[in-house]
Structure 1
Amino acid sequence: MTALRAVIFDVDGTLVDSERDGHRVAFNAAFAEAGLPDRWEVQEYGELLKIAGGAQRLAYWFEQHGTATGQARELAQQLHRSKTRIMRQMATDGHIRARPGARELIELLQSRGIRLHVATTGTRAWVEPLLRHAFGDPFDTVTTGTEVPVLKPSPAVYLDVLIQTGLSADQAVAVEDSANGVRAAVAAGLRCVAAQNAYTRADDLSAAVLVADGLDDPELVTWFGDHLV
């Protein structure tokens, strides 16, 4: 087996607990700011996560509640801009926390000379302050949906990281939390470790080389320990 040289992390739901207490809160604040009555509760938002992309999620929601397709998409784009601004402020203010075990895993990998990268389809406007506040500056490459706007399960964002870094797929491992993320990583030729969360425990993560119950799961920590050079 080729020696592990790099780990490529997803962000939402993987490195940080951002879906329930980040994005959902920001969406609800954007609804309120626009004077709309819509609100997404915790369980409801979990169901909506099956739709990849925040703007797409909004458009689907509005269409399902009787808004014509064209108007739904226009309203979704408007609301998504507001939501991104709110999410950026939340990230800057430190309201979105690292998942248990995230910092410890990053420190372990750094101590063993493993390069760290990020492949997310989130918007750079909020991804950068979030990562900086939660982790400092451990990542060599941060590729976001601003540069690669094709959503997972497309492998595009992972392929972009591989091109930027000059890594071959067998030299790196992806860390994801969801079915779409695992599919994206595997389609890029990467091994993938899945660290599921409350929203993704029912996802089909079977294509991952390991499915763990979070980044602090001893099985996940042991797996990386066994594969570090």
Structure 2
Amino acid sequence: MVRTVIFDMDGVIVDTEPVHRYAYFQHFEELGIGVSDAEYATFTGRSTKNVYQHLKDKHSLAHEVGELVLAKREFFNLAFDEKPDLELLDGVRRLIEDLHQHNLELILASSASQSTIDRVMRRFVLGPYFSHLVSGEDFPRSKPDPAIFAHAASLAQSSQAECVVIEDSANGVTAAKAAGLYCIGYNSIHSPLQDLSHADLVVTHFQELTAARIAALETGALEAS
């Protein structure tokens, strides 16, 4: 029986991807570097710090990674605060409320920075539903490294076998499975080019999920790889 649901944020709870994309490409232009759509797709599920470490190494950028992260964050914060049509993904608030009403614990484990997580929690008043908010910026390696999900599961009130992850990215699903967790892949139109075939269950809309269905999932006692 499932007692804890670990949510990714971007592409699962809210579609901040267009805001991130705008901020990234504004910054790429400022830095004078080229990033293709195919390369950008590989950044999905990775922390901003990890992305800029990759770009610093690839393009021999003189800036420190911390400086690059802060510069991109300024672009993001301005765009986030000015975007009036930013909404939760269809059906996710109903699912969160349903899970909460049925006493399932909710944990957020996102590659986003803590400041971005806090912005989303405040804007949509989601904080009271989650027992823990875990940011990828606190880990040296991003998804597909399993550390963030292993840590989230360690914070849960339930056992690892009673936890499930909801993810929309190939990197996120890989990370969840490597942490030994059951993973629901959310095949979102907002997260293109993502192979979710290695998830235990794939859904295309949150209407397919209820607290009762998730609680009844047979997760088994998985072993981390």
Partner residue, 2:223? none
Partner residue, 2:72? 83
Partner residue, 2:139? 148
Deviation at 1:144, TM superposition (A): 0.3
TM-score, with structure 2 as normaliser: 0.79
Counterpart-to-counterpart distance in 2, 1:45 and 1:54: 17
Counterpart-to-counterpart distance in 1, 2:140 and 2:21: 21
Q: Is it true that 1:221 corresponds to 2:218 in the alignment?
A: no
In structure 2, relative to structure 1, the CA distance for the partners of 1:134 and 1:60 (3 Å cut) is same
For structure 2, the residue ranges without an aligned partner over 5 or more in a row are 217-225
| 2:109 alignment partner, one of 113, 119, 125 | 119
In structure 2, relative to structure 1, the CA distance for the partners of 1:75 and 1:205 (3 Å cut) is same
| 1:54 alignment partner, one of 42, 48, 55 | 48
Provide Cα deviations, 1:23-54, integer angstroms capped at 9, x if missing partner.
0122234456xx556687xxx54641313343
Counterpart-to-counterpart distance in 2, 1:53 and 1:128: 16
CA contact (8 A) 2:47 2:113 kept: no
Counterpart-to-counterpart distance in 2, 1:132 and 1:191: 29
Identity of aligned residues (%): 27
| 2:184 alignment partner, one of 184, 193, 212 | 193
Describe how 1:93-108 pairs up with structure 2 within 5 A.
95=84, 96-108=86-98
Q: Is it true that 1:18 corresponds to 2:16 in the alignment?
A: yes
Counterpart-to-counterpart distance in 2, 1:146 and 1:60: 15
Provide Cα deviations, 1:83-116, integer angstroms capped at 9, x if missing partner.
1133234445565421111111101111111111
Amino acid paired to 1:221: L
Amino acid paired to 2:48: G
Q: How many residues align?
A: 212
**Higher RCO structure (Cα 8 Å, ≥6 apart):** 2
